[in-house]
Amino acid sequence: MASRVLRIGLIPGDGIGKEVIPAGRRILEALPASLGLKFEFVDLKAGFETFEQTGAALPDKTVEVLKTECDGALFGAVSSPTTPRAGYSSPIVGLRKKLDLYANVRPVKSVGSKNPIDMVIVRENTEDLYVKEEKTYEGPNGKVAEAIKRISERASTRIATMAGEIALRRQKIRESGAPSIHKGPLVTITHKSNVLSQTDGLFRQASKAALAAEKFKSVAVEEQIVDSMVYKLFRQPEAYDVIVAPNLYGDILSDGAAALVGSLGLVPSANVGDGFAMGEPCHGSAPDIMGQNIANPIATLRSAAVMLEFLNEEKAAAMIYAAVDANLEEGKLLSPDLGGKATTEEVVADILKRL
């Protein structure tokens, strides 16, 4: 059987991204040959350090190589300047827009917990307040700042469609015998249409219409106002399966959900478009621990697995998930953010052994 070759762009970025992205490469290289998968890697630059060196946080070459040569990518982390710098803009936001990675998919799962959590937050990735169209002006009572919140029917429809597809895929995995806390597929539409009747009202309307399609007839659909959603997320996290939200709410909910499982160092994500997926750990660049060999690599390893899922390599992804879960369940080699004393290298080595 001929092997499938996947070409993966590696973008460490800043801070601990340079420590965890090599771990992501190692987990892919360690997958067994019986899967029929081979990987080629290309090293690419982006981030604040790249901006200081070249004047561009996201070089055109990086975008071009990803578009024309790569099947997927792993992105580490970005350090943002504490004060505005002329010419600087977030490279991760730029990549999402230039590659049309319209969905940010963040699984949040507990392992060995008395309070089981198993949800996926699907965040629209291209619009809302993140269009970054802001202005300031002098009003009669002093300076005024305004920002555009943009919601479109197209973006809302396709993000809700992806949420429905993820719910169906999760249900298929459950029906194959995988343990689960959920009885059936459920999508929760999150919005604030009681106040923002035009923008969030459109997101709500378009999402409900998308999930009413015949292929989603087995998917239960509910909706939740975002402020009460935050409350219920912390009080009843086991009630949620797939959550779909506009960009800002999805950003807040996914970081909040990470607190439920102990650390941002555990939580993966993938920026997904049609035919391309970029894994990205949810933690930041963490300059305070950079170079100390104590960064938690698990979010990156899981992000590599999420990337593989969206590249239709679910079996390979499942093997990574199982190896990571086994490490966490045993609990002997944990990084400092989880209360342990293991180094980054020790955690990676243990997971590779289990793989």
* CA nearest to 148, candidates 161, 134, 136, 160: 134
How does DSSP assign 241-295, residue by residue? SEEEE-HHHHHHHHHHHHHHTT-GGG---EEEETTEEEE--SS---TTTTTSS--
- One-letter identity of residue 199: T
pLDDT in tens, the chain (355 residues): 568 999 999 999 999 999 999 999 999 999 999 999 999 999 999 999 999 999 999 999 999 999 999 999 999 999 888 777 888 988 998 999 899 999 999 999 888 666 788 999 999 999 999 888 999 999 999 999 999 999 999 999 999 999 999 999 888 887 776 666 777 899 999 999 999 999 999 999 999 999 999 999 999 999 999 999 999 999 999 999 999 999 999 999 998 898 888 788 899 999 999 889 999 998 889 999 999 999 999 999 999 999 999 999 988 998 999 999 999 999 899 999 989 999 999 999 999 999 9
Query: Does 318 reside within a domain?
Result: yes
Angle (nearest 5°) at CA 152 between 67 and 147: 95
136 to each of 27, 127, 201, 302, how far by Cα in Å?
47, 20, 27, 41
344-354 and 17-29 helices, crossing angle to 10°: 20
Same domain, yes or no, for 96 and 185? no
Q: Quote the pLDDT of residue 283.
A: 87
Q: Tell me, what's the pLDDT at 177?
A: 65
Dump the DSSP string for 286-333.
Answer: -TTTTTSS----HHHHHHHHHHHHHTT-HHHHHHHHHHHHHHHHH-SS
Alpha-carbon distance 151 to 247, whole Å? 9
Is 31 found in the same domain as 87? Answer: yes
Task: Please give the Cα distance from 76 to 280 (Å, whole number).
Answer: 6
Return the DSSP state at 30: T
In this structure, is residue 248 part of a structural domain?
yes
Same-domain status, 232 and 286: no
Task: Specify whether 284 is located in the same domain as 255.
Answer: no
Please check whether residues 251 and 270 belong to one and the same domain. no
pLDDT at 113: 66
Structure tokens at 193: 């249409």
Residues 254 and 295 in one domain: no
For residue 1, what pLDDT is reported? Answer: 57
Q: Is there a single domain that holds both residue 17 and residue 85?
A: yes
Place of tokens 């975008």: 63
Residue in the block written with tokens 């009080």: 235
- Considering the domain architecture, whether residues 131 and 256 belong to the same structural domain is answered as yes
Task: Map residue 8 onto helix, strand or coil.
Answer: strand
Residue that finishes a domain, picked among 228, 260, 292? 260
Do residues 135 and 55 share a domain? no
**CATH classification of the domain holding 78:** 3.40.718.10
> Are 220 and 330 found together in one domain?
no
Exposed, middle or buried by CB within 10 Å (0-12, 13-18, 19+), for 181?
Answer: middle
Instruction: Give DSSP secondary structure letters for 46-111.
Output: -SHHHHHHHS-SS-HHHHHHHHHH-SEEEEEE-PPPSS--TT---HHHHHHHHTT--EEEEEEE-S
Rounded to two decimals, the pTM is 0.89
Asked which of 260, 292, 321 is the last residue of a domain, the reply is 260
User: Given the structure tokens 């970005």, which residue do they identify?
Assistant: 78
Total number of domains in the chain: 2
- SS3 category, 145: strand
Residue 120, domain member (yes or no): no
Considering the domain boundaries, does residue 119 fall inside one? no
> 276 and 215, same structural domain?
no
Give the residue from 227, 260, 293 where a domain finishes: 260
- 254 and 301 share a domain? no
Identify the domain containing residue 34 by its residue range. 1-113+262-355
Q: Is residue 122 assigned to a domain?
A: no
- Considering the domain boundaries, does residue 239 fall inside one? yes
